Structure 1
Amino acid sequence: MSKTGSAAKVKLNRFDDLFGTEKLQIGTEQVQEIALSELHEFKGHPFKVLDDEKMQETVESIKEHGVLMPGIARPMKDGGYEIIAGHRRRHACEIVGLATMPMFIRDYTDDEATIIMVDSNIQREDILPSEKAKAYFMKYEAVKHQGKRGKGNSLDEVGETAGESAKTVQRYIYLAHLSDALLDMVDKKKIGILQGVELSFLTEQQQEWVQVVLEETGMIISTVQASRLKEHGKSDELTLPMVRLILTEPKPIERKVTIKADKISRYFPEDYSNEQIENVIYQLLDKWNSSNSEK
């Protein structure tokens, strides 16, 4: 799958076009120093700006070298500029104590801006499931608005920048329908991705019930339990007592036994296949079980 990205298709053909470096060199566009107070967060921005180790690295870099890569923003109707790319750099500039930040100002449409905003962030290694879910949902809606459905699979286009399949993208888009509380549990790995997808089909009220029970009990929800909740939710039979019953029922013990090859090979000829070895083991276990039952 190509990793060129949809951002490159929004009247942009190369990395130089996206960040304006070539245009800057020939004098047709200039980097503008914009006051930080005039730079506003992208509406519905799905990516968190954290004061983590990587932010500190950005801060140190700006202290030493300044902002090496200008951000991208677009004018807002009521004044100021909406950041498309550069939220983390803006925050780092604030920490450093700068009053302005270098920006390219582009008059993009809502859909163009959304696609570029997502594509410029989605390849980071530390993205949370909640961030990816909201970002993919926003980009999917933007791609649909551009009327590209008949020109290929929109889900493939959404995931191409990060090299992810349409199936993976669809899962994350489902997750975007979870409540913030349940999405937070997915981020903290208290709910798995597959379980989260199943729960995303529940109503807001039903999701709240699940949240309450999980927080009360500290239980880990299984895929089977999530599927049962989804099925009962479809038929509008789900109630808080039923949610509590499903989530607190005893789970079967999962057993997985691995026998090392060097040990098992001592008991079988070299020409025995895996299937033949398994059959012999099952036969011996059946005999062992019968002899124990007779005692």
Structure 2
Amino acid sequence: MPKRKEMCSSVSIEPDKGIVMMSISELHDFKGHPFKVERNPELFELRQSIEKEGILIPLLIRKNPNGDGYEIIAGHRRKEAAIWAGITELPVIIRELDDDQATIAMVDSNLQREKILPSEKAFAYKMKLEAMKQQGRRNDLTSGQVEPKLENETLEIYPLESEIDENGRVIIKQKSGKKGIRSNELLARQVGESVNQIKRYIRLTHLIPKILDMVDQEKLALTSAVEISFLTEEEQYELHAVMEIEQSIPNLSQANRLKRMSQQNRLDMDSIYEIMEEVKPNQREQVKIPLERVGKYFPADYTPLQQIELIEKLLREWAKQNKNISR
């Protein structure tokens, strides 16, 4: 390609010039990008597709506001798969976007993925909600409003929507003829979650990384994690240490008690131990005997209750005999 050298020069490339080729070394991740890019089976499949057919959808980028080169808006996984495949240049579309436009486009493009971790949703929802607030303020849609804390967001704005057209152009516009609604309600509609669920996810951003990882790994329930998010950072580290030592995960009731004790300034390592050492119903040891191993010993008309009663009776007799023998 005779123009390849020029096309790879960040000095000569301007926005809205269509699809151009660019060196991967000039492409930088979006600042605060909340979505994990890992070399897993899904990325390996993308790598194989790129090796066979090339990159069919160009990356969307903008000039890097934090330094040299360009910042990726959409295409982080494509970039990583290309690196894995040994590709050094990628097709890109450059657009002029401010921080809020870029954030909304970045989040929207990634929320289309099939599997999204709770931690990814948490930071993505938080970032997009803050960008929506800024969009509303700049359009003078919130004059006279008192700005609340993010997790209790009630800012009233007019509906804004983003879309990427067939040429890769990001369009963010205000829906005409619509009454203003609260930003968290609008976000909930856009992502298909309830407002309360949005708030729950955003609360996860207050968790320390080790506990947030437990949510992603489905070791800790989302509802319990939300309660734990109200603990101080130091208390969370202490709780995590106790969880590892005791090999126990707090249920919702225990997590709620930890939260209340923290709010009352009564939570310390001893009280954490006391709560976590409790035996939960689902953690009591149980002995399960497969029916195919013992069923043949019972009369055909015996109910499960009768089978259990007979087993208990035989065990009592065995215990008595064993006691006499030990004497």
TM over 0.5: yes
Which residue in the other structure is 1:239 paired with?
268
1:203-238 Cα shifts (integer Å, max 9, x gaps): 101111111111111102110000000001111111
Match of 1:131 among 120, 127, 143: 120
| Cα distance in 2 between the residues matched to 1:51 and 1:59 | 10
Alignment check: 8 A CA contact 1:39 1:80 kept: yes
- Could you tell me which amino acid in structure 2 is paired with residue 140 of structure 1? L
Specify the alignment match of 1:86 in structure 2.
75
5 Å-filtered alignment, 1:12-51, equals 29-51=17-39
Identity %: 44
Amino acid at match of 1:240: M
SS in 1 for 2:191: coil
Give distance in 2, aligned partners of 1:181 and 1:75. 34
Q: 1:63 to 1:204 in 2, by over 3 A?
A: same
Letter in structure 2 aligned against 1:144: K
- Conserved 8 A contact 1:67-1:101: yes
Give, in whole Å, the separation in 1 of the partners of 2:216 and 2:282: 26
Q: TM-score, normalised by structure 2?
A: 0.66
Separation of aligned partners in 1, 2:189 and 2:42: 25
The Cα RMSD (Å) is 1.8
**Match in the other structure for 2:251:** 222
Q: Are 1:73 and 2:79 matched, yes or no?
A: no
2:43 equivalent among 55, 65, 87: 55
Deviation at 1:118, TM superposition (A): 0.8
Matches of 1:36 and 1:163, distance apart in 2:
35
CA distance in 1, matches of 2:281, 2:64: 57
Gaps of 5+ in 1: 1-27, 256-295
| Contact map agreement 1:122 1:161 (CA 8 A) in 2 | no
Shift of 1:61: 1.4
- 8 Å CA contact 1:72–1:104 kept in 2: the answer is yes
Quickly say closer, same or farther: Cα 1:105–1:250, change in 2 above 3 A: same
| Structure-to-structure mapping, 1:141-180, within 5 angstroms | 141-147=130-136, 149-151=155-157, 152-180=181-209
What displacement does 1:29 show? Answer: 3.7
- Please tell me the residue identity of whatever aligns with 2:196: K
Instruction: Name the CA distance, whole Å, in 2 between partners of 1:67 and 1:156.
Output: 36
Greater Cα radius of gyration, structure 1 or 2:
2
CA distance in 2 between counterparts of 1:162 and 1:215 reads 35
Cα deviation for residue 254 of structure 1 reads 9.7
Question: How far has the Cα of 1:47 moved from its partner?
Answer: 0.7
Distance 1:93 1:216, change over 3 A: same
- TM superposition shift of 1:246: 0.9
Specify the SS of the correspondent of 1:104: strand
Contact 2:242 2:272 in 1 (8 A): yes
The size of the alignment, in residue pairs, is 228
Runs of 4+ in 1 over 4 A off after TM superposition: 252-255
Match of 1:186 in 2: 215
SS of 2:110's equivalent in the other structure is coil
The amino acid of 1:86's aligned partner reads G
Partner of 2:90: 101
Per-residue CA distance 1:96-152 (angstroms, 9 max, x = gap): 211111111112111111111111111322211111111111111111222363221
Q: After TM superposition, list the pairs within 5 Å mapping 1:259-274 onto structure 2.
A: none
| Counterpart for residue 112 of structure 1 | 101
Asked if structure 1 preserves the Cα contact closer than 8 Å seen for 2:36 and 2:120, the reply is yes
In 2: Cα distance, 1:79 partner to 1:253 partner: 55
TM-score between the two structures when normalised by the length of structure 1: 0.73
Q: In the aligned structure 2, how far is the partner of 1:209 from the partner of 1:240?
A: 7
Superposed CA deviations along residues 20-62 of structure 1, whole A, max 9, x for unmatched, are: xxxxxxxx64112111000001111111111112212211111
SS of 1:84's partner is: strand
Distance 1:254 1:80 in 2: 54
Partner of 2:52: 64
